[in-house]
Structure 1
Amino acid sequence: MSSSSGQPQFRYTQTPSKVLHLRNLPWECTEEELVELCNPFGKIINTKSNVGANRNQAFVEFADLNQAISMVSYYASSSEPAQVRGKTVYIQYSNRQEITNNKSSGDVAGNVLLVTIEGVEAGDVSIDVIHLVFSAFGFVHKIATFEKAAGFQALIQYSDAETASNARNALDGRSIPRYLLPEHVTSCHLRISFSAHTDLNIKFQSHRSRDYTNPYLPVNPSAIEGTLQPTLGPDGRKKEPESNVLLASIENMQYAVTVDVLHKVFSTFGTVQKIAIFEKNGGMQALIQYPDVATAAVAKESLEGHCIYEGGYCT
């Protein structure tokens, strides 16, 4: 059925419909561009864009069936293909007779938002900035970020659909405030829909994911700036790269060790910027961040094997 030139322009076997299915659109094709393409043939009463796995398809609904037929007939017989931004667009009748927007998952209000952050790379917008922006509308329970073909995305979980709707209505199409972005980012738009998720499964706190409802969730060591994944030395054993972040394991825990206690102990050697405590394999561990590697190295040398309390407790 398809010719050597790629996809067929038009399937003749289809039942005409006032809804046309457009394929091979440029990525992020806007509603305005669709209307501009179809307007010469009649009145457009509804569109649904960015559909399909690659978000490069759309549906356009004409007011009248004959208008849709005239567009399909025109391009079926024209030597010039339909084009948007220089890309050839394939047009066929849809097997649906009308566009129903309210049935797509992105329009059914839920408590989790799917946010696409346009114009940025994954490292440009930190999870803390996303949290700050979305917390303005209510308590954010969880955030998960990821990179997909569509760009840098985040799932943001609120307690209920009403809060999520308020955030979506206020922020969809808006930009993250300029002062929260790195200098090289020129524009950054939020495109927000509802996700089908209701409860995100966050396994640990990291620079990619957060659960603000569970302070006891373990911290992924790579989540704190400056920690590097260990490399192997020539003998095949882990060779620890020097870092401004120390990982302390505390043994023989006879007394509670709090962030304050650790802060007091580690501040002896320099400014402590951040501390994270978590349990691992039944023992307690902490990450301590200094401003530079040199300070961390001195603290490590001095405190390795040191007991916080006399009598060998909390080594």
Structure 2
Amino acid sequence: MNKDILVAADDHEGGLCLPKSSARLTQESGVGYNKASSLSFSAESRRQIHYCRAPLPSLSLRRSVSRRQNPRSLSLLNPLNKCGRMSEPSKVIHIRNVGHEIAESDLLQLLQPFGMVSKIVMLRAKNQALLQMEDLHASVSALQYYTSVQPSIRGRNVYMQFSSHQELTTDQSSHGRNSDQVCHASGSEPNRILLVTIHHMIYPITVEILHQVFKAYGFVEKIVTFQKSAGFQALIQYHSRQEAVEAFGSLHGRNIYDGCCQLDIQYSNLSELQVHYNNDRSRDFTNPSLPTEQRPRASQQGYLDPANLYAFQQAGASYAQMGRVAMIAAAFGGTLPHGVTGTNERCTLIVSNLNTDKIDEDKLFNLFSLYGNIVRIKILRNKPDHALVEMADGLQAELAVHYLKGSILFGKKLEVNYSKYPNITPAPDAHDYLNSSINRFNSNVVKNYRHCCSPTKMIHISALPQDISEEAILNHVSEHGTVLNTKLFEVNGKRQALILFKSEEEATEALVSKHASTLEGNTIRISFSQMQSI
């Protein structure tokens, strides 16, 4: 039996979630759904997207149809649904096996090559999602492609089919009127206390931040935060059950910050929260006279000690350093790359075995800026095949060492190590990039960390002129090696390109020589793509 459930349909651009409207959809045939929210990240955060055959950034594709099968023989207009019944084509695509590590932006980038995605609903409790394409042709094209190619996001296969709904509709109905449906979706009785789990937590979440988010739906009496195996969690007590129901309906599945810190909300079975201290881990807003405890005792389980956040206290890292480590780890899918500790505090690198005939400071900047902001670069005049590169912090320096050590640049194998010097002293022979607008990590920090990788054969070019031709792009980069394939495409109205070279060395030479160069009046941006083919 189909049941209506509530989902938030606020199409805001990042920042703290605020209630605006709600959307209603009918449950998929034979599948139970929970509530979730719609698109909540900015267009700017989707600027640089790396693609393979169908544009996919951090997504990998592999053939799911054996050689004996003929993909053309598969029914594309009437694919079987989960219950074995035939589904009619629809603008709405139903996606299954959507894990918590998969963001809305990942799903959008999976389908945007085939047309505009007009609406998205994340059904977190069931690991599912609904995406509505702008027209039927776009959804049919997408399913035609993914019938023969298995889509995989962050190492997880996802599965697509037409939804039984022809479109997702918006409804301004109140949350209270549909509280029974909300209750059914959550699997528990509505309660004035909410259990909130934060997924993809890139930035630290405090009592103050949670209060700012949840107070928009009613009077928040108490908040308690703690760390469990499921991750960072909080119990939030409202004055009334109705306020909690409204917050549940509006915030479940939403992001506190743009693209991260996702709210997974359930009703708690507790009847009253006990708060003994007003501090950064717990707060009783009805009793401001409670004492503040400076440090919790070891026996006080259930409270998260900020000094232990992200479990880096034994390494002696500062709280600010731990925040950066957590952000980078989250960008890489929850853990740092193998071999990266996140505890290095040395910012300056010594790079040796450089090709003295072809290298200069700007080329080194173009390469090392892939892994963090550059402060200064200095080529040693007494050792012209050596250079010092000062990164903005130790984590970025560690990433550069991890990904670039042993790479080939202009026929030479690079040696990249930590320098004994803490920084590069400003001097006429030291190039200063501290305030350079072409430092890549001035904006879109999480996205840039996500795309960090060792040099590959494929480069991704963005910020191209709108009327650029493939021939003009090839003329600009082909002097650096043999181009095997190219792809010119458009994302959110902006032209981008993928160029596949014969070798990693050729692609690296093109990147260091042409990043931030001018092409038909535009300053283009080049990075390595992790895609293996176009």
- TM bucket normalised to smaller: 0.3 to 0.5
Q: Choose 1 or 2 for highest CA Rg.
A: 1
TM-score for the superposition, normalised by structure 2:
0.28
TM-score for the superposition, normalised by structure 1:
0.43
